[in-house]
Structure 1
Amino acid sequence: MIPVPPPTKHQLALMIWVAVFPTLTLLNLALGGLLADLPPVLRTFVLSTVAVPIVIYGLMPRLHRVRARILLRGAPR
């Protein structure tokens, strides 16, 4: 198997954005009513406490695999 280099800063930034934006959007839609009365800092703390593990342990490994597949698809055989 051909080793895949780590993502560039720009690739990693895009991968993080692709993982974080939809996660926060869904969490806001799902939990917005429950968190509506909280102060903004506490609301942000709760959302980030839920979002960070989802992104780091759930979404980023999948995005790294997708990136590897894309890069390997274009690699010479």
Structure 2
Amino acid sequence: MLIEFCGCRKGFAKISSTHMFRTYFSLGLKQAKETTDKLLDGECFTFSLGESQDAEEVVDAFLKIGAICFAKQDEVSI
């Protein structure tokens, strides 16, 4: 499962976002901060979730802090 991020809303919780990128995607502090800054700049990017992670839970958590994101299926090549 993939999660597409594409910016943030007014009131975005930057510190929470950095913490959540570290927790959900196992990023280091520097990379998590840079990823949060991309959201603040309105950039779009995609992260892949591990099989044991619940995409709905991750998306809901990011939506609650003001991120703009959604889950989508991995594209399968034949």
Instruction: Please state which band the TM-score falls in when normalised by the shorter chain.
Output: under 0.3
Q: Which has the higher helix share?
A: 1
Larger Rg over CA atoms: 1
TM-score by length of 1: 0.26
Higher relative contact order (CA 8 A, sep 6+): 2
Q: Which has the higher strand share?
A: 2
